[in-house]
Amino acid sequence: MPQKPVEIVVYGADQLCPSCVHLPSSKETFEWLEAAISRKYTNQPYTITYVDIYNPPNEDDKSRFAERVIDEDMFYPVVLLEGNIVGEGSPRLKTIFAEMEKFGYQSAN
């Protein structure tokens, strides 16, 4: 079991990023990720949050990173796990799962 719940933050926007035309929207990716993680790590606590880069919450770290996504022309959605970028544009479940397992998460299946 994980030592403490990890925080996963998905940064994106309603409009698709110009280089991501054939990919799902940021919100769709967030929902897909949330479902996949909850299936894989049943009954293991974590938080997953969606942040609109053009309308970030009034939290310094989240609004600063949202600005960075825009300023650096990152491919969104950008997925952060405990503050580290683990996916950009088209995040890979395998990469995100591997990162979660470093924190003690164990596959339910």
How does pLDDT run across 72-100, given as a tens digit for each residue?
999 899 999 999 999 998 899 999 999 99
The predicted structure's pLDDT at residue 20 = 65
Pairing between strand 78-81 and 84-88? antiparallel
Token digits of residue 106: 């164990």
pLDDT (tens digit per residue) in 9-22: 999 998 766 666 67
Q: Which residue has the tokens 């009034």?
A: 58
Instruction: Please give the model's pTM, rounded to 2 decimal places.
Output: 0.92
**73 burial level (CB within 10 Å; 0-12, 13-18, 19+):** exposed
In the chain, domain spans:
1-11+21-47+89-104
